[in-house]
Amino acid sequence: MRILSCLLLAAVVLPAGAERLSLERIVAAPDLSGPSPRRVQIAPDGSRAGFLRSRPDDQYFFDLWEFDVASGTTRRLVDAAALQPDASLSDQEQARRERARTASLRGIVDYTWSPDGRRLLVPLGGSLWLVDVAQPDRPRRIADGNVLDARISPRGRYVSFVRNQDLYVVDLASGRERRLTHDGGGTVHNGEAEFVAQEEMDQKSGYWWSPDDGAIAFKRYDEAPVAAARRFEMRSTGVDVVEQRYPYAGGANVRVGLAIVSPDSGEIRPVDLGPDADIYLVRADWSEDGRTLAFQRQTRDQKRLDLVAVERDTLRQRILLTETSRTWVAILGKPRFLKSQPAFLWESERDGRRHVYLYGLDGRLRHAVSRGAWGIDDVLAVDEARGRVYVSSNCDAVTDRQVYALPLDGSGAERPQRVTQADGWHDAVFSDNGALFVDTWSDPDTPPQVGLRRADGSLVAWIERNPLDDGHPYARYRDAHLPLEFGTLTAADGQVLHWSLRKPAGAGDGRRFPVLVSVYGGPGAQTVRRKWGELFEHYLAQQGIAVFRLDNRGMARRERRFTDVIHGELGRHEVEDQLAGIDWLARQPWVDPQRIGVFGWSYGGFMALRLLSAGSDRIAAGISGAPVTDWALYDTHYAEQFLGMPQERPDAYRRSGVFAHLDGLRSRLLLIHGMADDNVLFTNTTKLIDELATRGIVFDLLTYPGEKHGVTKRQNRLHMYRTIESFLRERLRLQR
Catalytically active residues are 602, 677, 709
* 425/466 Cα distance (integer angstroms): 16
Q: How far apart are CA 577 and CA 491, in angstroms?
A: 6
Q: What is the pairing mode between strands 343-348 and 355-360?
A: antiparallel
- Round to whole Å and give the CA distance between 704 and 649: 35
DSSP H/E element including 705: none
Which residues, in sequence order, are CB contacts of 489 under 8 Å at separation 6+?
496, 497, 499, 550, 577, 580, 581, 584
- Contact by Cβ (8 Å): 342, 364: no
Round to whole Å and give the CA distance between 497 and 39: 32
Q: In whole angstroms, what is the distance from residue 577 CA to residue 416 CA?
A: 31
Q: Nearest CA to 69 among 456, 453, 467?
A: 453
Residue 689's SS3 state is helix
Helix, strand and coil in the chain, % to nearest 5: 20, 35, 45
Q: Which amino acid is at 731?
A: R
Q: Are 544 and 734 in contact (CB under 8 A)?
A: yes
Q: Are 554 and 566 in contact (CB under 8 A)?
A: yes
Report the alpha-carbon distance of residue 527 to residue 348 in Å, rounded. 23
DSSP string computed for 352-412: SS-EEEEEETTS-EEEESS-SS--EEEEEEEETTTTEEEEEE-SS-TT-BEEEEEETTSTT
Length of the chain: 736
Residue 438 pairs with which residues in a beta bridge?
Answer: 429, 452
Phi, psi at 478, each rounded to 5°: -60, -45
Phi, psi of 494 (to 5 degrees): 90, -5
Cα–Cα distance between 679 and 520 in angstroms, integer? 16
Q: Find out whether 64 and 120 touch, Cβ atoms under 8 Å.
A: yes
Distance between CA atoms of residues 163 and 149, nearest Å:
9
